[in-house]
A and B are shown apart, each in its own frame.
Chain A
């Protein structure tokens, strides 16, 4: 992890705007790759996105990677739920009219 100064005992320096931007970009690239191979949960893609994953891990802290990966699954579930709710409300409207 580049921005921890290499040493774990040292106190972490804050993530700069630039660091954050780089982390988000590599994350987006990795998730795009997962989308292409049709994998939702990070780590289940085999060797498919190895290059993107390496960059992602180089530029983001472990805690951030865990957080982003979890959120990707949650966002997907939310999308499903929202779509389901939409279908249900449309059906209800059709039944009423």
Chain B
């Protein structure tokens, strides 16, 4: 777990970081697993059209060694593209490692696929 869909939604939320400054988190020292996921076109489309941060997804996939996505966000959503999106968003799992805030450098550890997004006492506003 820590699929790229989740990575695409998590921003550093420490004091003085914002949803733009503290995003996207950078992967470091990761162990990645690929697991088959359930394909649901509506789910993917809705996420792609409404919520995705394309550059963050492309960047994160690249950090994990997947360069299958086009750099430019495609306008046309066809079946082939949805399959690609499905794989990158849902089938790549980061099981161990870290996510580092680009702004404050807070290190969010990932253990057994669960990221620890808790803030330390001095980081809460």
Q: Do A and B come from one complex?
A: no
